[in-house]
Structure 1
Amino acid sequence: MKFPVLLLGLWLVPTAAIAESGELRELLERERHEQKMPGLRAAVIFPDGSMVLEAVGVADKKKAIPLDNDIGMPGGSTGKTFVAAVTMLLVEDGVLDLDEPVSKWLGDTGWYHELPNADDIRVRHLLEHSSGLPDYPGTAGFMSRMVWRAIRQGSAYFTPEELIGFSFGKRARHAAGQGYRYSDIGYLVLGQVIEAATDRTYYELLANKVLEPLGLEDIRPQDQSVLPDIATGYSGGGSVLKKDGRMKFDPRSEWTGGGLVMTPAGLARFHRALADGALLKPESFAAMLDAGWRDTEDPDFYYGYGLFVARDRSSWGHGGLWSGYRTHVAHLPHSGLTIAVQTNRDGRVDLIGLVGRIARLVHAVPE
């Protein structure tokens, strides 16, 4: 996981200059063609809070519907940062403690003690992917079970408990709190903790504590098997949406592993709210950045609480993948830029590099 290198010592151009120059649109159009994306869009928030939006390409290839900045796309694992924020708000409220054992909340469920490391996992371990729990996409049986359900039922829906269950009987990947291994199962367990501690649904808490206070009307739950008002996603050149609007992997299944439909504007505004202290107390957000373990795939980054953070603190953010869609967001503290991008195709697309190229463009466009 990499983020754009910050351009230090250069001035930022006014928002109007970027919007009027057309160079951001030209950059996106060039990237779209080079990376064979049906559609591509971006949101850039400047230090003064002003924002520039741009979208190119199509939301649906067959219908030739232009992509705009309002239609939704599943944001994949970028939703984990929202889960982490809700968790930290509950810590501020005294409802959760980062060092309390997860068994306090889930020990009586009947399934919790089947997890590897069950007796040793703390809330903070789930936030920072240090629990040692497996990641269900990599477990034996998940893919075959998903394909079987998709064929038999038209769309494969799994409850959180079913997805967590793919870790039962498996060896821990490391001792709890003694390493980093990314785990969607860990964030599904965290969702269970949140609901057990509050007796409310995660999506209800998210709306009441985050989305409504910040006015993020363009971010919504993936709580329906057919997601309304979304761009058509593409995987391997084909649409991921069936004629009835369903997907092979039911989007409800993602839940607290991500579980949100969004726009780049909404995602960027959420991350700007984190950076500006509009959501969390300073010490809570500092903990999100300070905690965590080195990313085993890239030693220049570590995973805090729901955030990938550059070792030199030049950037922090998150990426997201859902079948047919890719999303990435980064905040660059020294320049004050927040940049979010989305495309309606999956596979090997370089959104991380694109964020860096957008940052360089913002520094280079003449007034």
Structure 2
Amino acid sequence: MQDGDFSRGWVRLLSHLDRQVASGQLSPDTAALPDLMSSYQVPGVSIAVGHLSGWVWAAGYGVTGGGTSTPVTERTTFAACSISKHVAAFGALRLVQDGVLDLDTDVREYLTSWRLLDRAGQQPGVTVRQLLAHTAGLSDTWYRGYPADRVPSLVQVLEGSGPTTTAPVRSTLLPGSRFRYSGSHYCVLEQLMVDATGTPFDDLMRALVLDPVDMADSSFDQGFPHQRPHLVARGHHVGGTGVPGGWRTQPETAAAGLWSTPTDLLRLDLEIARAASGNSKLLDRDLATQMWTPQMPGGSYGLGTEIGDRAGCRRFGHTGLNVGYTCFSFVWPDSGTAVAAMTNSDDGWELLSSIRVAADRRYASSLTTAPRDDIAGHYVLRDDYPIDVAVTDGQLIFSAAGQQPVTLLAGPDGRYLHPGLDLEIRFLPSDGQPSILELRQEGVTQTATRST
């Protein structure tokens, strides 16, 4: 696949989006993205598509709103809503990797500014892992944000005091017994991270995630949109009415306070995919794999990550909904491709569902079986270019001349993808055995023969 094909393919997809996605079947009822925006009165949409090779295509549609005709561009920032949790989880796991936090340690070891209590005033046993996975059984709360002139502190949100409009955060279910999605888990996680490091959360996340992943147009600072008002999409209610003030302020920043762009969001998901293949300098393979491993048997949520792992659809990432905004960011690891889309409307779900289903059909694949042991061996591309292939713990390890070993990504049709290069690999039979390795780069095919 060439970069031009990448972008042209998406331009075509967005001109024929399926309007009937609930059944999962292809429908003849299609519409172009601008037509769907008009139908659902969504003023602006931003979308980005990226690949592990480094290719990125991004585009904006419509306007930022607020009574202006300012067009949405690839650098227009939107409220990332609950995708904030996904980004915060990556930061928390970097603290775990550094030994600052431990996934299975009681949160009482870290919290100093506030205490988590149950309804009887007792302190339950809750772990960092349970906060990340929404299994701590905390208050069922959706945070709707505040006008800029009366915003509580995070401690006030946890206490339910001051101008806070939500109930105090309490332990209300048996910790670890079941999954219950709630932003309250990430409010506690945020305070815990601040207490454990002594660093304001927005500064901490910039150091742990935003700067290392090159998310230059993103911030957890609630003043961020005020610093660049010409590059902010203003929120809208159903029917197109603007949110007063343009947007709401979220003191619960880990739960719902990130401002970002689709391009920045997919950078993080691609970094997690690299990490899960052992090819990230930011997060080790075990922690990355735990991010997209269900934390409850048969569940669909890992550590800060929504998981699609059914036959025919393997992806992970997160969705989001704030007052005035909707969004998603997912990566399809078998194809090494990520897609993120954001709207400045409460009523963007149907439109986003059409985009996501288009991505599913383009990039999803059935779960692949473990690679066969008989493809392992020593291959020779030419006399001075050896290639070694090993099967370790169900994964295919590829070592080329003078390069570090990498874990290849399995494709749906017997192909394998290098996680960081434009390189496709297939194993071809010779005399009934897979003794030829085929490498395809920029449309050029080469073959390496296994030595005996």
Under TM normalisation by the shorter chain, which class is it? 0.7 to 0.9
Are 2:42 and 2:348, in contact at CA under 8 Å, matched by a contact in 1? no
1:288 maps to which residue?
A: 291
Cα 1:348–1:223 shift into 2, 3 Å: closer
Matched residue, 1:5: none
Structure 1 or 2: more helix by fraction = 1
Deviation at 1:90, TM superposition (A): 0.8
> For 1:240-279, what aligned pairs fall within 5 Å after superposition?
240-242=243-245, 247=247, 249-251=248-250, 253-277=251-275, 278=280, 279=282
Asked if the contact 1:163/1:185 (under 8 Å) is kept, the reply is no
State how 1:182-201 maps to structure 2 within 5 Å: 182-201=181-200
Greater RCO structure (CA 8 Å; 6+ sep): 1
Structure 1 residue matching 2:156: 3-state secondary structure = helix
For the structure 1 residues 47 and 178, does the alpha-carbon distance in structure 2 shift closer, same or farther, using more than 3 Å as the test?
A: same
- 1:317 is matched by which residue type in structure 2? G
Residue 3 of structure 2: aligned partner: 15
Q: CA deviation at 1:14?
A: 3.1
Letter in 2 for 1:322: N
**Contact conserved, 1:35 with 1:349, CA < 8 A, in 2?**
no
User: Which residues in structure 2 correspond to 1:295-306 (within 5 Å)?
Assistant: 302-306=300-304
State the SS of the aligned residue for 1:43: strand
Give the number of aligned pairs: 329
Provide the residue aligned with 1:112 in structure 2: 116
Match of 2:322 in 1: 322
Q: Kindly indicate whether the alpha-carbon contact (under 8 Å) linking 1:221 and 1:259 is maintained by their aligned counterparts in 2.
A: yes
| Change in CA separation of 1:171 and 1:113 when aligned onto 2, cut-off 3 Å | closer
Q: Is the 8 A contact 1:330 1:338 kept in 2?
A: yes
Matched residue SS, 1:293: coil
Counterpart of 1:158 in structure 2 is 152
AA paired with 2:156? Answer: E
Q: 1:307 aligns with which of 305, 308, 312?
A: 305
| Cα deviation digits, residues 48-103 of structure 1 (max 9, x gap) | 22011122111126222211111111100101111111111111111111111111
Superposed displacement of residue 31, structure 1: 3.2
**How far has the Cα of 1:219 moved from its partner?**
1.1
> 1:234 maps to what in 2?
236
Which deviates the most, 218-227 or 199-208?
218-227
Determine which of 31, 39, 44 is the counterpart of 2:36.
31
Judged with a 3 Å threshold, the aligned counterparts in structure 2 of structure 1 residues 169 and 29 are, in CA distance, closer, same or farther, namely: closer
CA contact (8 A) 1:103 1:119 kept: no
Query: In the aligned structure 1, how far is the partner of 2:236 from the partner of 2:359?
Result: 24
State the alpha-carbon separation in 1 of the partners of residues 135 and 101 from structure 2.
Answer: 18
Change (3 A) 1:169 1:303: closer
2:425 aligns with none
Moved more, 266-275 or 28-37: 28-37
Structure 2 matches for 1:87-106, cutoff 5 A?
87-106=92-111
> Once the 2 structures are TM-superposed, how far is the Cα of residue 304 of structure 1 from its aligned partner?
0.7
Q: State the SS of the aligned residue for 1:176.
A: coil
* Corresponding letter in the other structure for 1:347: D
- Within 2, Cα distance between the matches of 1:28 and 1:362? 19
Match of 1:9 in 2: none
Q: Which amino acid aligns with 2:12?
A: E
Counterpart Cα distance in 2 of 1:209 and 1:168: 29
Once the two structures are overlaid, the 10-residue window that deviates more, 278-287 or 120-129, is 278-287
Quote the offset at 1:285 in angstroms.
Answer: 0.4
Q: Using a 3 Å threshold, how does the CA distance of structure 1 residues 118 and 31 change in structure 2: closer, same or farther? A: farther
8 Å contact from structure 1 (residues 188, 257) kept in 2: yes
In structure 2, the CA distance between the partners of 1:334 and 1:31, relative to structure 1 (3 Å rule), is: farther
Q: How far is 1:221 from its partner? A: 1.9
Q: For residue 38 of structure 2, give the secondary structure of its aligned residue in structure 1.
A: helix
For the Cα contact (< 8 Å) 2:294–2:307, is it kept in 1?
A: no
Q: Bigger radius of gyration, 1 or 2?
A: 2
**Which residue is equivalent to 1:71?**
76
> Residues 226 and 219 of structure 1: is their aligned pair in 2 closer, same or farther, counting only changes over 3 Å?
closer
> How big is the shift at 1:314?
0.4
Between the aligned partners of 1:169 and 1:357, the Cα distance in structure 2 is 39
Contact 2:52 2:270 in 1 (8 A): no
The answer on 1:127 being equivalent to 2:128 is: no
Cα distance per residue 1:155-202 (max 9 Å; x no partner): 441221222224548661x21011000111110100111111111122
Once the 2 structures are TM-superposed, how far is the Cα of residue 325 of structure 1 from its aligned partner? 1.0
TM-score, normalised relative to structure 1: 0.81
Partner of 2:48: 43
Counterpart of 1:14, as a letter, is: Q
Whole-Å Cα distance in 1 between the matches of residues 149 and 171 of structure 2?
30
How many angstroms apart in 1 are the aligned matches of 2:8 and 2:122? 55
Deviation at 1:348, TM superposition (A): 5.7
Answer yes or no: is the 8 Å Cα contact 2:158–2:188 preserved in 1: yes
Q: Percent identity?
A: 25
Q: Which deviates more, 354-363 or 201-210? A: 354-363
Distance in 1 (alpha carbons) for counterparts of 2:66 and 2:225: 19
Query: What is the letter of the counterpart of residue 271 of structure 2?
Result: A
RMSD over aligned CA atoms reads 2.7
Asked whether the 8 Å contact 1:307–1:317 carries over to 2, the reply is: yes
Larger deviation: 40-49 or 224-233? 224-233
Q: Give the TM-score of the pair, scaled to structure 2.
A: 0.66
